[in-house]
Structure 1
Amino acid sequence: MKNTLSLEEIINIESFQKIQDDIAKATDIAIIMVDYKGKPITSHSNCSKFCSMIRNIEEYSILCEKCDSRGGLESVRIKEAYIYKCHKGLVDFAVPIIVNNQYLGAVMAGQILVEDENNVDLEEIVMAKKNFYNLDENTKKLLESEYNKLPKVSFNKIKSISQMMFHISKYIVEEAVLKMSLNEANYKLTQGNKIDINIENDEKTATIVNLKTNDEEIESPIIKAIEYIDDNIQENITLDKISFVCNLSQCYFSKLFKKETGLNFVAYLNEKKVIKAKQLLINTDKPINNIAIDLGFEDCGYFIRIFKKIEGMTPKKYRDLNKKDSSI
Structure 2
Amino acid sequence: MKSTLSLEEIIDIESFQKIQDDIAQATDIAVIMIDYKGKPITNHSNCTKFCSMVRKIEEYSILCEKCDSRGGLESVRIKQAYIYKCHKGLVDFAVPIIVKDQYLGAVMAGQILVEDDESVELEEIVRIKKEFKSIDEKTRKDLEQEYEKLPTLSFKKIKSVAQMMFHISNYIVEEAILKISLNEANCKLREGKKVDIDENLNESVNLKTNEEDVESPIIKAIEYIDDNIDKNITLDKISFVCNLSQCYFSKLFKKETGVNFISYLNIKKISKAKQLLINTEDPINNIAINLGFEDCGYFIRIFKKQEGITPKKYRDLYKKDSSI
**TM class by shorter-chain length?**
0.5 to 0.7
Residues 236-257 of structure 1: CA deviation (Å, up to 9, x unaligned)? xxxxxxxxxxxxxxxxxxxxxx
Residues 253-311 of structure 1: CA deviation (Å, up to 9, x unaligned)? xxxxxxxxxxxxxxxxxxxxxxxxxxxxxxxxxxxxxxxxxxxxxxxxxxxxxxxxxxx
> Residue in 2 aligned with 1:126?
126
SS across alignment from 2:4: coil
Matches within 5 A, 1:122-161: 122-129=122-129, 131=131, 133-161=133-161
Residues 197-246 of structure 1: CA deviation (Å, up to 9, x unaligned)? xxxxxxxxxxxxxxx98999xxxxxxxxxxxxxxxxxxxxxxxxxxxxxx
Matches within 5 A, 1:242-281: none
Give 2:32's aligned amino acid: I
Give 1:143's aligned amino acid: L
Gaps of 5+ in 2: 199-324
- Once residues 169 and 215 of structure 1 are traced to their aligned partners in structure 2, the CA distance between those partners, rounded to angstroms, is 36
Paired residues of 2:29 and 2:46 also in contact (CA < 8 A): yes
> Residue in 2 aligned with 1:49?
49
> Residue in 1 aligned with 2:17?
17
> Residue in 2 aligned with 1:225?
none
> Residue in 2 aligned with 1:7?
7
CA separation of 1:2/1:147 partners in 2, compared to 1, >3 Å: closer, same or farther? same
Q: Segments of 4+ in structure 1 off by > 2 A?
A: 129-133, 212-216
- Once residues 196 and 71 of structure 2 are traced to their aligned partners in structure 1, the CA distance between those partners, rounded to angstroms, is 52
- The CA deviation at 1:155 is 0.3
> What's the Cα RMSD here?
2.2
> Residue in 1 aligned with 2:181?
181
> Residue in 2 aligned with 1:80?
80
- The CA deviation at 1:32 is 0.6
Fraction of identical pairs, as percent: 79
Paired residues of 1:132 and 1:140 also in contact (CA < 8 A): no
Matches within 5 A, 1:1-328: 2-129=2-129, 131=131, 133-191=133-191
CA separation of 1:134/1:167 partners in 2, compared to 1, >3 Å: closer, same or farther? same
CA separation of 1:156/1:76 partners in 2, compared to 1, >3 Å: closer, same or farther? same
Q: Which one has a bigger Cα radius of gyration?
A: 2
Paired residues of 1:95 and 1:107 also in contact (CA < 8 A): yes
TM-score computed with the length of structure 1 as normaliser: 0.57
Give 1:89's aligned amino acid: G
CA separation of 1:215/1:156 partners in 2, compared to 1, >3 Å: closer, same or farther? closer
Paired residues of 2:99 and 2:176 also in contact (CA < 8 A): no
- The CA deviation at 1:180 is 3.4
Gaps of 5+ in 1: 193-211, 217-328
- The CA deviation at 1:173 is 2.2
Paired residues of 2:30 and 2:48 also in contact (CA < 8 A): yes
- The CA deviation at 1:2 is 4.3
SS across alignment from 1:121: coil
- Once residues 139 and 24 of structure 2 are traced to their aligned partners in structure 1, the CA distance between those partners, rounded to angstroms, is 27
- Once residues 49 and 73 of structure 2 are traced to their aligned partners in structure 1, the CA distance between those partners, rounded to angstroms, is 26
Paired residues of 2:7 and 2:35 also in contact (CA < 8 A): yes
CA separation of 1:161/1:215 partners in 2, compared to 1, >3 Å: closer, same or farther? closer
SS across alignment from 1:47: coil
Paired residues of 1:90 and 1:112 also in contact (CA < 8 A): yes
Give 1:27's aligned amino acid: T
- The CA deviation at 1:191 is 4.5
- The CA deviation at 1:138 is 1.3
- The CA deviation at 1:170 is 0.8
Paired residues of 2:82 and 2:95 also in contact (CA < 8 A): yes
Residues 151-197 of structure 1: CA deviation (Å, up to 9, x unaligned)? 010001000000000011111221232033214412430258xxxxx
Is the deviation greater in 138-147 or in 128-137?
A: 128-137
Paired residues of 1:113 and 1:151 also in contact (CA < 8 A): yes
Paired residues of 2:85 and 2:122 also in contact (CA < 8 A): yes
Q: What is the aligned length?
A: 198
Paired residues of 1:87 and 1:127 also in contact (CA < 8 A): yes
> Residue in 2 aligned with 1:268?
none
Give 1:148's aligned amino acid: E
- Once residues 132 and 146 of structure 1 are traced to their aligned partners in structure 2, the CA distance between those partners, rounded to angstroms, is 18
Paired residues of 2:87 and 2:126 also in contact (CA < 8 A): yes
- Once residues 104 and 111 of structure 2 are traced to their aligned partners in structure 1, the CA distance between those partners, rounded to angstroms, is 23
